[in-house]
Structure formats: C-alpha cells, structure tokens
Amino acid sequence: MKRMRTLAGISILALVLAACSSGSSDTAAEETAAALDDSNCAAAENFCVGLVTDIGKVDDKSFNQSAHEGAMAAAAEVGGFYKYIETTDTKDYAANMAQFTDKSYDVIVTVGFLMAEATVTAAKANPNTKFIGVDQFQGEEVANVTGLIFPEDQAGFGAGYLAGLMTKTNKIGSVLGLEIAPVQLFAKGFEAGAKKSNPNVSVTTVYHPPADNAFADPVWGAAEAKKQLAQGADIIFGAGGGTGNGALIEIAKAEGAGTSIFCIGVDTDQWFTVPEAQPCLITSAVKGLTEGTTDLVKKAFDGSIAGGNFVGSAGISDYHDFASVVPMDVQDKVAAEVAGLKDGSIKTGVTL
Amino acid sequence: MLDFISENRKPIITLALVTVVAYVFYFLDEIKTTSVLVFGWGYAVPLVLAAMVGIIGERTGVVNIGIEGQMLMSAFASFFGSVITGNIYLGMVIGISAGLVMGAFLAVAAVKWEMDQIIAGVVINIVAAGLTSFFYAPGKTLPQLMPVVSIPILSDIPLIGPVFFRNGLFALATLFIVLAVNYAIFKTRWGLRSRSVGEYPSAADAAGINVLRIRMVNVTLAGALAGCAGAFLALEAAGTFARGLTAGRGFLALAIMIFGAWNPMGALAAALFFGLSTAIASQLQADEVINIPQQFVNLLPFVMTLVVLAIAVGRVRPPAAAGQPYTKEG
C-alpha cells in the first residue's frame, strides 16, 4: 500500500508541475498590479485583459511571446488586470477562453490563426466581451471580434528582396512551419521579393509535414536547413516558430556562417529572441505583433475598437552586427523597397 | 553461406534493389542524393534507438510507452548538463544517466510494484513533459559543437560513406548498437532467457530463470538507449533544447517497432523507410518537379505501416507475455 501511495504522490507532483508550466494555475500566471485580482471584472471600473496562447508558450521567442508582451504592456498602461493561459492541446481553446468569459473579462486576446474559429464561436456566445484575434482574418464581421492581421507578404517580400541581392550562389531557401495562410504569405512574399531583386535566383520552399508539432520541431528544421545548405543555398529564411528556430541555429553552426552563409528570422527581431542564431542572422521579417496588440487593447479600453480586421505593420528588422556586412547600396535599395510597400506604391503581387 | 542466402532471400533482394536505385540517383545528382540520404538517416537515428528500447522491453515482457518521456528527460539533462559543466562529453554522460534513471523508474514501477505498464509509461511521459518545461531556461547555448567523426576507409565509399560513416558520435554508434542488440537478442544466452521471459515467464521461472531480475535489468539498460536517443536530439540533431523537443518521436518509434516485427534489423529498415520518405517528401516540395501535395507524400510511411501489418497478419505477433506483470506462484 505504501508503495502505491508513493507512486500516487509522484503522479500528483507531475500533474501539478505540468499544470504550473502550462500557466493555467493561478500561482504561475503572470499578474500585473493595478486591479489586484479578477474576482470583480464585471464592475465597470475594473478592466481585465485575458490572453490565450496557441499551442506554445509565452516565452516561445516568437508570436505568442510578442502578443503576450503587447497585451501585458497595454494592460499596465491603462491600469488593468492581466492574466494569460497557455494552451497545451488544440481541443482546449474553448475551455481556456471560458475561464476568462466566466469571470466577465473585458478583453480576451487569442493568439494564432488556428484559434480563429473557436474565437468567433466564443464571441457570439459572449457579446459583452471584446475579442482580439491575433493573426485571425475575419471573413465576416462580428461586432465584438477584431482580427489583428499583418501584411506578412510585405515582410517576406522585404526579406526576399535583401536575400536576392545578397546571394552569391543564386540559390536561397526557406524552412517553414505548417502550411497555413500567414506562413504561406511569408514564404510567397519572400520568393516574390527575391525574384524581383534578382531574376536569376531559385527559391526552395519547404513546409513541415502536417502535424501538431509543425511549429515545435527544431530537429526537423535543423535537418532541413542542413539539406538545403548542402544543395547550395546560401541564404535561408526560417519561418515557423521552434521549427524555424532550429533551422536558424543549424545555419549559425555551418561553415561560412556570417561571411558567405546567412539566415533570416521571422515574426520578431530574432537577434534578441534566438541569440544562438546571431552568427548568421542578417535580419528578421517582422510583424508588429507587440505594437498591434497594445494598440488594440488600448482601443478596447477607450471604446474605439471596431469589429472586422485591423491591419498592423510589417517589415524587416535592424541588421545589428551585419550593418557593416550588408553593402550600403543594398541597404538603401531594401529600405526604398520596404518604404514603397508600406505606402502602397509597390505591390507584392502575392495571392494565396 | 548458401543457406543464409536462401533463408533471407527477401531482405537481401530488397537491400540490393534499394542500393541499386540509390546509386542510380547518385550518378544522376550526387549532391541531392547524398543530402537527401543524410536527412533520411538523421531522421531515422532517434527512431531506431527508441525502437530498440521498445523491442528490448517487450521482448522481456514489459510494454514501454514512456519512451517519449525518457527521451525528453535525457535530451533535457544532456543539454543542460553540457551547459552547466561546460563540456559536451559530460553532457552526453549525464543524458545517458538520465535515461538509465528513467528506465529504472519504469522497471521498479512495472516489475517490482506490478503497476499497470501502460499507466507507468503515461506517468513517465507526463512527469518528463512537466519537469522539462518547468525547469527549462531559454537562451542557453551549447559550450561546443558535437564533433563530426569520419571512420577511415568506410567514410570514403561514395554515398554510403558520407551518409553513415561521417557523423556525430551517436549517429555513428547507432548502426553498431542495432547490430549488437540484434546479436544479443538472438545469439546469446541472455537473449534466449530474455525472450523466454517475454513469451512464457512461468516456464522460464520453472527452468530456473529469475524473471523479475531479468526484467528489471533489461528495462533499466534499455533506458540508457533512450538516453542516447535524447542526447542525440539535443546535442547532435538540434544543437539546442526546446520544450517538447522529442515531438512525438517516442510514439513513432513504437509504430516502427511493430512495423519491424519486434526485430532490431526490421526496425532499422522500418526507421530508414520512415526517414527516407520524410526526406523525399521535403525534396519533392523543394524541386517542384512532380506536383504531388506534400501531405500525400508524408502519409506514405503510415499507409505502408498499415499495409504491412495487414499483409503480415498472423505472422507478426507481439511477445506473448508483453504487458503482463509476473507474479511468482506459491
């Protein structure tokens, strides 16, 4: 009997740890001061912001983290209460959102394309709560859902334009996560940009096999990057959460990294989020996730938020240490191109 | 010699065919063929090692569905062991030791406490996922790279050399581990005893074999192989650790074990098949020559597993006592 008790103890410990790490228990979730708890979110003076991640963590160095930081900053700025839940299983989307709606949160941020449907369903059931869907394009307008979308094709286009000018072998590649709209836009934009600056370039585009782990498989990403390098690619775009990060880290280890071989990150400035990739990382194709989320949460606070889609910004990040490696005329051309994309005078021509 | 050939006609013909096809492609495009096969073997290595863990366990009568957790713990231990000690070799030792500890845990739970083996495996998976995410600290880098070793002469063979004999330590060791496990299971006294324990433990007991001890030892030692698989993923394949690094490879390994009919050489072939089809799926996307949606190509290994199992019904069967705790009578 004693043995069974020990065993039960171990199992409970494990479950508690798993729960803590997924952030769904109250002790682990990060809380900002201001409104001290979420027991009376229904009261008008208490502004409560909840965030539900996609499969992934708020320190994933990629889109979950950016949205989390944006929502947290906005809540702090307006003196609201903030809490997040990390999703560990796609089947839990609705349950995780219900944890917030049950307590009458004012704003719920849901992160990721895959949560789009669950978010709209929850919004229709809770008309008094504002929902912000990061990366969720709204086909039909629901009054209390705002989709924060980005012109990913523009970010990819800028990165591709740079890659087309920098490649020596005229072969560039991309290692991608799941084949879904935001990733496809990045990839197609990357290809279009490269073809524009260098018509002779050939672009290899490879997506992770469809599976739950498509954004969290650095081993596959590393192997794919290695294969593309062996086949002559000298600039590789890693776009796909942990999978893409695996590719970047592998390229950073390759012979010639930083001199003849480069990598390009995605979503956020990965110079800071994946320091292991610094030896090869010339730039990142970034979406203004943090700013966009902050803007929308603040709009929700002052009541100016509207249903439908809200287009954030996208572009490429700083060159950091590679500012001296990327020739000045290339930098100027790329800057002109990115500016043209932003003001609409240049079109990427990407369609899905 | 002739007996050997006639007994193993099918595997030999398959092997010869695959080799010929590989070399035809090699002469058409040396670089592509080599890099695709390097990808394929790299993908197969952790699957083969993990399948060995499953095979040793089930041949001895213990079902191990905790391989995923055992690998994850070892990957975590080897990576952070390397980071903390500043030495990748110490990290390897720490990773393999972590595998041994996880193996010992399953052995104690399943054999000594006679706990339901499936539940014990699930507990391992949950414990590993919980502990490794809780203690994970982002932003750490390996102190040094896993050295790439070339075996003299063998590594100079075109195609086969760079794929199998010019690799990191774990990938190099894997081929020899498979041969050793195969020899040990079928040609040694230990192997015969282990198999008898997995098939008919009460008869083995009557013959004077200590059933519980052999199960304890085998399941624990198999954990060390899960340790190798985990350390390979963190130190050699990814060069980093991330939450859920194993990404379901421990479960895929169980499919490979069954596909390979609980036979180490069969599992090696099955894992190579999985690795190669994954590599080909990615290469087809890259080349855009044949326009098959990648989703279909990626389905191939799983469809093949079903086909093989359907054809081989009756001929392929798990060890009879796998999954049953053994209690000595009287």
CATH of the domain at A197: 3.40.50.2300
Q: Per-residue pLDDT tens for B235-249?
A: 999 989 988 899 999
Summarize pLDDT for A259-291 with one digit per residue, the tens.
999 999 998 899 988 888 999 999 999 998 998
Which residues, in sequence order, are bridge partners of residue A267? A286
A46 within a domain of the structure (yes/no): yes
- pLDDT of res. B84: 96
**In a shared domain, residues A200 and A249:** yes
Instruction: Evaluate whether residue B51 is within a structural domain.
Output: yes
| Rounded Cα distance, A130 and A71, in Å | 13
Determine, yes or no, domain membership for A131.
Answer: yes
- Helix (H) or strand (E) segment spanning residue A249: helix A241-253
Q: Report the C-alpha gap between B250 and B49 in whole angstroms.
A: 10
* Under 8 Å between Cβ of B230 and B73: yes
Distance, CA of B45 to CA of B50 (rounded, Å):
9
The answer to whether residue B31 neighbours chain A at the CB level (below 8 Å) is yes
Nearest-neighbour CA in chain B from A237: distance (Å): 14
Is position B136 within any domain?
A: yes
Return the percentage of chain B with pLDDT > 90, whole number: 63
Are A248 and A335 part of one and the same domain?
yes
CB contact B270 to A (< 8 Å): no
Number of structural domains chain A divides into:
2
Whether B275 is covered by a domain: the verdict is yes
pLDDT tens per residue, range A29-86: 444 444 467 778 888 888 999 999 988 788 877 788 889 999 999 999 998 999 999 9
Mean pLDDT of B162-173: 93
Per-residue exposure over A84-114, b if at least 16 CB sit within 10 Å of its own CB, e if not:
bbbbbeeebbbebbebbbebbbbbbbbbbbb
Listed residue (A37, A25, A11) closest to A96, CA to CA: A25
Which residues in B lie closer than 8 A to residue A4 (C-beta atoms)? 113
* Cβ distance of B247 and A217 shorter than 8 Å: yes
Q: Give me chain B's average pLDDT, please.
A: 90
Residue A165 shares a structural domain with residue A228: yes
- The nearest alpha carbon in chain B to A19 belongs to B130
Question: Is the residue at B324 inside a domain?
Answer: no
Establish if B314 touches chain A: CB-CB under 8 angstroms: no
Q: Answer yes or no: is A251 within a domain.
A: yes
A15 belongs to a structural domain: no
> What's the domain count of chain B?
1
Would you place residue A133 in the very low, low, confident or very high pLDDT band (cuts 50, 70, 90)? very high
Range of the domain at A145: 30-150+290-311
Residues A96 and A187 in one domain: no
CA–CA gap between residue B264 and residue B330 (Å, rounded)? 36
**Whole-complex ipTM:** 0.91
pLDDT digits (tens, 9 = 90+) for B20-58: 988 998 988 999 999 999 999 999 999 999 999 999 999
Element (H, E) at B284: helix B264-287
Best A227, A236, A248, A249 member to test B by mutation, with max B CBs in 10 Å, is A227
Q: Does B280 touch chain A (CB under 8 A)?
A: no
Q: How confident is the model at residue A13 (pLDDT cuts 50, 70, 90)?
A: low
- Residue B254 covered by a domain: yes
Give the closest-approach CA distance of A220 to chain B in angstroms. 8
**Nearest CA to CA, how far is B32 from chain A (Å)?**
6
Q: What is the pLDDT of residues B307-324, one digit of tens each?
A: 877 876 667 788 988 888
Is pLDDT at B281 greater than 60 in this prediction? yes
Q: What is the pLDDT of residue B174?
A: 95
Same structural domain, A160 and A265: yes
Per the structure, the complete domain to which residue B201 belongs is given by 7-311
pLDDT, tens digit, for every residue of A81-117?
A: 999 999 888 889 999 999 999 999 999 999 988 899 9
pLDDT at A23: 43
Strands (E), chain A: 48-55, 81-87, 107-111, 130-134, 145-149, 171-176, 202-207, 235-239, 262-267, 281-287, 308-311, 314-316
d(CA B71, CA B125) in angstroms, rounded, equals 9
Same domain, A325 and A179: yes
Give yes or no: residues A196 and A128 share one domain: no
**Same domain for A164 and A53?**
no
In a domain, A16, yes or no: no
Q: Phi/psi class of residue A311: alpha, beta or left (left: φ > 0; alpha: ψ in -120 to 50)?
A: beta
Q: A93 and A162, same structural domain?
A: no
Collapsing DSSP to helix, strand or coil, A43 comes out as coil
Q: Examine residue B113 and state whether it is found in any structural domain, yes or no.
A: yes
Cβ-based neighbour number of residue B17 at 10 Å: 10
In a domain, B283, yes or no: yes
Asked if residue A196 belongs to a domain, the reply is: yes
Asked, for residue B285, whether it belongs to a domain, the answer is: yes
In a domain, A18, yes or no: no
> Span A213-227, mean pLDDT?
93
Q: Are residues A103 and A34 in the same domain?
A: yes
Of B35, B109, B245, the CB nearest to A7: B109
Q: Is residue A63 within 8 Å of A273, Cβ to Cβ? A: no
> How far apart are alpha carbons B238 and B240 in whole angstroms?
5
Average pLDDT over every residue of B148-158: 91
Are A45 and A140 members of one domain?
Answer: yes
Q: Which residue in the set A4, A20, A210 is minimally distant from B134, CB to CB?
A: A20
Give bridge partners of residue A81 from the DSSP assignment: A48
B94 Cβ partners below 8 Å, 6+ apart?
B77, B78, B81, B82, B85
A4 inside domain: no
Do A197 and A275 belong to one domain? yes
Q: What is the CATH number of the domain that holds B271?
A: 1.10.3470
**Cβ atoms < 10 Å from Cβ of A303:** 7
Question: In this predicted model, which residue has the larger pLDDT, B228 or A139?
Answer: B228
Contacts with A7 from chain B: Cβ below 8 Å? 109, 113, 115, 123
